[in-house]
Structure 1
């Protein structure tokens, strides 16, 4: 089968197409014939070597890319699924030689959920990583007060706004001025344009500062400055957590696969597709991701 891997770190040009044997599932696992795989920033961080430098990925000769998958069960093994079932899933073991950028992917059955009805595989593939990241980050927040979401127009940030709104948390969204209408549609009650002196501008809207922040845009200390003393801060990338100044409780969301939670979220959140490319053009997808400005996820189709 075909797959895209990296054998050395660098820019999009290091992505390499290879022919490898079709993987075999073990006990409690399923094999999925991949119909679509989303392209996420974590894929670029893996490809560039940033995650290896941060100690998140140990030394490996070959690394597969791709966390999100949508497709059909090809081998159900001893699991609850049946051959032909339409599914979505999340690969959270990122130090393996094969990822979702491939024609077949083996996952633990516990990492897989039925595909949401009414969505194409391309649409469904945009859900797993971003939806679970937003939900698991919100799980870390104890406040019932005001929540600031940076990067609120992004894939994770948009879901975070929607899920927080569903919890009836007052949401302050930070995004580009052009995205104000979009993030208000997600459920943001207040909007602050991204830019310098974020803490001062947020505090002009919420005197004393917000109770918590989900820093999906990785603003670090600028976002921390918007939080009241003793508040909460959730970081989203290795090395992105600021010092816990003013007694702010700083936590980091470390995403994990959860098929049951994914099944619940997939029925509540909209798919966000920024574009579709064939698997062989994974490098072009990474170039578009690096250029920024995407609202949703690019999706690769084998």
Structure 2
């Protein structure tokens, strides 16, 4: 079974084609023939060994990848009726050793997979599960209501874009950051107000909302630099574990997307929003799976809008 992974950690060029055993299928699980796997920043961390405690892949190989789409080929006992062999699905993966999204044969819990949105390709669908659930969790943690104001940093990225669209679907007012070249994109995603991105974005947001915004989703990883944009007692969600400085009554809540990895209702809700036209699937480019190193080089160079996707053909 072909996979793309590492037997030693390092830069993009350590990625290689691996021949791995197929995973066993158990009750409540589905086997998926993966046709597309999105490339995410978390994948580069796995490849570089940032999560390793030993400095070496524990199972002899680490396979990155958290977003996949493909076709169900086999189902375990007790799997729900809408997942049958031949069903096109998208799914979220929690990588562990050789279990990651960059493999053409993958076993997932049934609650980690749902049907590909009607009208979407597998490549498009592969950009949604992990990124969309991360955005969904960020908004859930903030508990903002219709009419409140949300700021989004890193708004042109995959996480930021999904946050904007989900927030607008919930009736929030959105102020988002962008470079001049991304302003039209961010407005098309639904932002009501766009400010210049940068380390001083909090000041720009305060110029528009002098009392501060109700909440902020920090996709740009600004951490402490973003906090002044939020009113006293407001709420911030972060994606790399930053937990705030404890000042002004701010509630800083890190997003841990693996907590939603088997939340079928939220995953399927994302599918419905795509089918309704409220959420847009954005593909920056595609690569054959055996050119994953090129995709990692490009992602780490920055400036990608939408997701790069590996194709298993």
TM-score range relative to shorter protein = over 0.9
CA positional deviation for 1:142: 2.3
Cα displacement (A) at 1:46 = 1.4
**What are the residue-to-residue correspondences of 1:122-271 with 2, within 5 Å?**
122-144=123-145, 145-238=148-241, 240-255=242-257, 256-257=260-261, 258-268=263-273, 269-271=279-281
RMSD (CA atoms):
1.8
Matches within 5 A, 1:269-288: 269-288=279-298
Give the drift of 1:261.
Answer: 1.6
How high is the TM-score relative to the length of structure 2?
0.91
2:62 is matched with 63
Q: Describe the superposition over 1:52-110 as per-residue Cα deviations: whole angstroms up to 9, x where unpaired.
A: 47x9x996643211111111101112212211111111112x22312111111100001
Q: How far, CA to CA, are the matches of 1:243 and 1:95 in structure 2?
A: 32
Q: How far did residue 259 of structure 1 move? A: 2.6
* Alignment of 1:298 onto 2:308: yes
SS state of the match for residue 295, structure 2?
helix
Contact 2:57 2:97 (C-alpha < 8 Å) held by counterparts: no
Q: Counterpart of 2:23? A: 23
1:34: which partner in 2? Answer: 34
For 1:9, the equivalent position in structure 2 comes to: 9
In structure 2, the partner of 1:90 is: 92
When structure 1 is superposed on structure 2, of 259-268 and 130-139 the one drifting more is 259-268
Give the aligned length.
Answer: 298
CA distance in 2, matches of 1:136, 1:73: 27
Contact map agreement 1:198 1:225 (CA 8 A) in 2:
no
Q: Is the 8 A contact 1:70 1:121 kept in 2?
A: yes
Instruction: Give, in whole Å, the separation in 2 of the partners of 1:84 and 1:293.
Output: 36
CA contact (8 A) 1:3 1:98 kept: no
Q: Does the 8 Å contact 2:8/2:57 carry over to 1?
A: no
Contact 1:153 1:182 in 2 (8 A): yes
Give the conservation status (yes or no) of the 8 Å contact 2:58–2:97. no
- TM-score by length of structure 1 reads 0.94
3-state SS in 2 of match to 1:212: strand
Aligned residues of 1:235 and 1:251 also touching (Cα < 8 A) = yes
Aligned partner of residue 65 in structure 1, secondary structure: coil
Q: Deviations 1:116-175 (Å, cap 9, x if unpaired)?
A: 111111111111111111111100012332110001111110010011111111111012
Q: Give the whole-Å Cα distance in 1 for the aligned partners of 2:208 and 2:52.
A: 40
